[in-house]
Amino acid sequence: MQEKDLIPVLERIQKKYGYLPLQALKSVARELGVPAVQVYGAATFFKQFRLNPPGKYQIEVCMGTACYMAGGQVALDSFERRLKIGVGETTPDGEFSLERVACVGCCNLAPVAVVDNVVEKNVTPTRVDGILLSLGLSEENKENKENSNAQGK
């Protein structure tokens, strides 16, 4: 393994664990013979890498130009409102994580979201509710979450 293999190696680790555990980054640095902080730098630089475990369901809302103009922000707001998390966060129960992606190249279906690698088209606030419902976020759960959040505060 050489320094130039760093990105592919990190990609493999993320594929295996879903994220990049700090411990793994340390071992990679040792293997490559570079300072650990350099590996950490690369891991925090690229959008594809995450340092925390993702949710069971990963929701990525497209923020390409066409999607943005067609209501991508509204869709993102709706997900945030329903899941009560912000972009880059995971729900406390580890079920959902929410991300923003630059462009998935399906501009004529805008606004789109990628839910567990499947492209969902015309994501209106109603569709957001539909998607979340199909993934098991029921009204009841929503209430529970609200309650637990309230308690958390």
Name the site residues for another protein (rule: CB under 8 A). 2-8, 10-11, 22, 25-26, 29, 32, 34-42, 44-49, 63-66, 68-69, 71, 74, 77-78, 81, 101-110, 112, 117, 119, 121, 124-126, 128-129
CB nearer to another protein: pick between 56 and 101 = 101
CB nearer to another protein: pick between 37 and 150 = 37
Round to whole Å and give the CA distance between 62 and 66: 9
CB nearer to another protein: pick between 66 and 95 = 66
The Cα-based distances of 141 to 3, 47, 137, 146, 148 in angstroms read 47, 31, 6, 8, 10
Name the minimum Å distance from CB 66 to another protein.
Answer: 4
